């Protein structure tokens, strides 16, 4: 346990090494919120609703996605491809710990860093813009939402390991990573709630793991969806796929560059 705490602490120290980098990253997170905020304010600020969303509902969704992005999608595992390509993976592989736990602990440190700053930034945004938001008080929904977020964290972790593992086979990992990022921006519901799309599209989206990262946990928080089963299935399925790909990839690893 002590060694994992050390990994956690070292990862946090790494984040704080380049302070300007860290500040810029945090400022970016505020912009992620501001652009959609202004769009929705222009559309719904005067009252009314579209697709059943009032201004308060869409602001709750927007606040929710901003927090969940930090919590679910904050990750250090995105470095995995680079580690494989440069041979840097050799060092953690030789150390006496479980490699998945190593990556997961690093992710947790990144999430803690993001979340701690989020608790400073969001009240700031709130006091400047006064967006109407809905706070869930039903303990059952809150419990379900927390379980859903936990599943989302695992799903995102496995997706990252799978995409990072592509580096075992190809050096060109930036393009698949860019494509994944672009798809996730849309399919997670980060751009707008997926139930604004035609029903057929929603059904197709829900067959992929992406909506379970942001959209579904938020719907659960809002008490509009309490089915956690698809998320559990995705966690188990992606966990198995990750292990298979990792084993196959590791057998090809040549520690090139070391």
Partner 1 sequence: MKLKVAKTYLRVWLKLTSQQFQSQVANARGAALLFIFGKLFRLGTAFLMLYVIMGRAKLIVGYTMPQAILILALFNFVSNIAQLFMRGIYMFRQKVVDGTFDFYLLNPLSELFYSLFSATDPMDTLLIFPYLGLVVWAWINSGFPLIFSSVLFVLIVVVIAFVLIMSWHIIILSVGIKYLEVDNTIMLYRDLEKMAAIPIEIYGKTGSAILTYLFPFALLATIPARLIFGLYNPWFLLGFVALAILYLKLSLFIWSRALLSYSSASS
Which residues lie near partner 1 (CB under 8 A)?
18, 20-21, 24-25, 27-28, 31-32, 34-35, 38-39, 41-43, 50-51, 170-172, 174-176, 178-179, 181-183, 185-186, 191-192, 196-197
The nearer residue to partner 1, 120 or 135, going by C-beta atoms, is 120
| Shortest separation between residue 157's beta carbon and partner 1, angstroms | 22
Question: Which H or E run contains 16?
Answer: helix 2-17
Closest Cα to residue 206, out of 193, 221, 216, 196? 216
DSSP letter string, 53-70: B-HHHHHHHHHHHHHHHH
The nearer residue to partner 1, 43 or 133, going by C-beta atoms, is 43
| Shortest separation between residue 16's beta carbon and partner 1, angstroms | 13
| Shortest separation between residue 220's beta carbon and partner 1, angstroms | 23
| Shortest separation between residue 150's beta carbon and partner 1, angstroms | 28
CA 142 – CA 152 distance, rounded (Å):
15
The nearer residue to partner 1, 92 or 176, going by C-beta atoms, is 176
The nearer residue to partner 1, 7 or 15, going by C-beta atoms, is 15
CA 228 – CA 202 distance, rounded (Å):
17
Closest Cα to residue 103, out of 18, 155, 161? 161
- Give the Å distances, CA to CA, from 125 to 58, 112, 169, 172, 190: 15, 20, 44, 39, 18
The nearer residue to partner 1, 67 or 184, going by C-beta atoms, is 184
| Shortest separation between residue 205's beta carbon and partner 1, angstroms | 12
Token pair belonging to 176: 């698949």
């Amino acid at each position: 346990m002590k060694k994992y705490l050390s990994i956690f602490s070292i990862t946090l120290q790494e984040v704080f090494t380049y302070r300007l980098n860290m500040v810029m990253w945090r400022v970016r997170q505020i912009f992620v919120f501001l652009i959609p905020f202004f769009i929705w304010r222009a559309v719904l600020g005067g009252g009314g609703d579209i697709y059943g969303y009032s201004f308060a509902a869409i602001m709750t969704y927007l606040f929710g996605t901003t927090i969940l992005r930090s919590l679910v999608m904050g990750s250090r595992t995105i470095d995995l491809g680079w580690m494989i390509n440069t041979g840097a993976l050799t060092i953690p592989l030789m150390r006496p710990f479980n490699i998945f736990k190593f990556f997961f602990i690093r992710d947790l440190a990144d999430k803690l860093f993001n979340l701690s700053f989020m608790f400073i930034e969001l009240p700031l945004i709130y006091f400047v813009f006064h967006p109407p938001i809905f706070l869930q008080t039903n303990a059952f929904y809150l419990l379900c939402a927390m379980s859903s977020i936990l599943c989302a964290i695992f799903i995102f972790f496995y997706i990252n390991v799978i995409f990072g593992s592509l580096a075992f086979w190809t050096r060109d990992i930036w393009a698949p990573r860019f494509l994944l990022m672009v798809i996730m921006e849309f399919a997670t519901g980060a751009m707008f709630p997926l139930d604004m799309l035609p029903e057929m599209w929603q059904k197709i989206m829900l067959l992929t793991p992406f909506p379970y990262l942001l959209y579904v946990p938020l719907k659960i928080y809002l008490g509009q969806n309490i089915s956690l089963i698809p998320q559990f299935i995705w966690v188990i399925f992606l966990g198995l796929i990750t292990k298979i790909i990792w084993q196959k990839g590791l057998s090809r690893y040549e520690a090139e560059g070391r």
